[in-house]
């Protein structure tokens, strides 16, 4: 064999070995950046891997931190998907041009138009209601009605809620701006803040515990926290949920405010086909039922079975406002909250 032919053969063999040993990211794995607690999403990702053989690499962190990281990584990012817990974060990702549109008949069929981006850059995966919770001992539910009523003086010193830097609260105020305008919403916010029982502190569970302990009479919180506390074996959680009940706000008006967890395909995804396959899996009926049973979140896919806990709360009218409006009104909501003294 001539030397040049021998060298060429060796090069070809080495190249083949390198190819076989190279990481199979583009064909065998999907990388997800997620602001969801790992326990609330990883079981589904593991099930996807078991069914498809496609490995899912999960990186968790704060929504703002992950958005900053994605912006800094640019086209060099290894992430294929961004999964987050609030419509405001999804909107910020879109404005930063981090997403790309997804054309999927499966997703469009599974997820209603008002629960996904109008340009198909992100899709809701689960839904929670941010509504009113009240003390069974100190509040008659007939006293409750809508969010605007929470500015009434009858609630002076009786309300607990998280701080204004919480995205869930910002999205609630954003929805009120969409329905009532900025001027009315700011007037409401000033009265609402005047009714606080204490300076905002802690998370949603802390507000519910505060109602149960008598620090306040009503609270604003996400339904899935309350559902998780009911499902918990923790004695303190049981004591709280025995003393606190859920009330569906604004049933005679626009409906109870809802927010979503959602997902989007990143602009520089290295494996878009497998990433879309994962998105479609998360929107499947089986995955949507898991959200309800394991997380006590409402499915976004119509007709999906609910958990016993969610069923026990009864039907309610959810605000049909397009979820995209929450992100679009976020900046105005923050300004309104700041001017109202909501810290």
Binding-site residues: 224-225
CB 266 within 8 A of CB 102: no
d(Cα 49, Cα 42) in Å, to the nearest integer? 11
Spatial separation of the C-alpha atoms in residues 98 and 265, rounded to whole Å: 8
- Cα–Cα distance between 250 and 285 in angstroms, integer? 29
Q: What is the DSSP letter of 35?
A: -
Q: How far apart are CA 342 and CA 334, in angstroms?
A: 9
Q: What are phi and psi of 265, to 5 degrees?
A: -80, 125
First to last CA, the chain: 81
Q: Dihedrals φ, ψ of 71, to 5°?
A: -65, -40
Residues contributing to the annotated binding site for Fe cation: 224-225
Question: Where do the H-state alpha helices sit in 74-111?
Answer: 87-95, 105-110
Strand ranges for 156-254 from DSSP E? 159-160, 218-222, 244-247
Question: What is the distance between the alpha carbons of residues 284 and 277, in angstroms, rounded to a whole number?
Answer: 11
Neighbours of 169 (CB within 10 A): 21
Torsion angles phi and psi, residue 146, rounded to 5: -135, 180
Q: Which two tokens stand for residue 268?
A: 């520089």
How far is Cα 104 from Cα 252, in angstroms, rounded to an integer?
A: 36
């Amino acid at each position: 064999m001539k030397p040049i032919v021998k060298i060429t053969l060796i090069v070809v063999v080495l190249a083949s070995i390198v190819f076989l040993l190279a990481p199979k990211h583009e064909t065998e794995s999907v990388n997800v950046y997620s602001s969801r607690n790992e326990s609330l999403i990883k079981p589904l990702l593991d099930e996807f891997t078991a069914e498809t053989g496609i490995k899912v690499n999960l990186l968790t962190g704060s929504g703002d931190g992950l958005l900053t990281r994605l912006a800094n990584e640019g086209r060099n990012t290894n992430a294929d998907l961004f999964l987050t817990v609030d419509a405001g974060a999804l909107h910020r990702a879109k404005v930063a041009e981090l997403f790309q549109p997804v054309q999927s008949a499966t997703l469009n069929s599974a997820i209603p138009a008002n629960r996904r981006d109008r340009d198909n850059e992100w899709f809701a995966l689960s839904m929670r209601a941010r509504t009113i919770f009240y003390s069974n001992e100190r509040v008659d539910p007939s006293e409750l009605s809508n969010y605007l009523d929470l500015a009434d003086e009858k609630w002076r010193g009786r309300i607990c809620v998280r701080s204004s830097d919480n995205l869930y609260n910002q999205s609630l105020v954003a929805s009120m701006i969409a329905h009532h305008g900025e001027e009315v919403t700011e007037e409401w916010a000033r009265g609402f803040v005047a009714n606080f029982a204490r300076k905002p502190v802690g998370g949603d569970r802390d507000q519910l515990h505060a109602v149960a302990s008598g620090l306040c009479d009503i609270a604003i919180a996400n339904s899935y926290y309350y559902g998780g506390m009911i499902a918990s074996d923790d004695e303190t959680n049981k004591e709280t949920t025995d003393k606190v009940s859920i009330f569906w706000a604004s049933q005679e008006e626009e409906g109870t405010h809802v927010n979503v967890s959602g997902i989007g395909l990143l602009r520089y995804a290295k494996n878009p086909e497998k990433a879309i396959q994962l998105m479609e899996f998360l929107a499947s009926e089986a995955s949507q039922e898991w959200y309800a049973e394991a997380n006590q979140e409402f499915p976004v896919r119509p007709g999906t079975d609910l958990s016993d806990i969610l069923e026990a709360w009864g039907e309610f009218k959810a605000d049909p406002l397009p979820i995209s409006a929450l992100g679009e009104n976020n900046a105005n909501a923050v300004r309104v909250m700041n001017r109202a003294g909501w810290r």
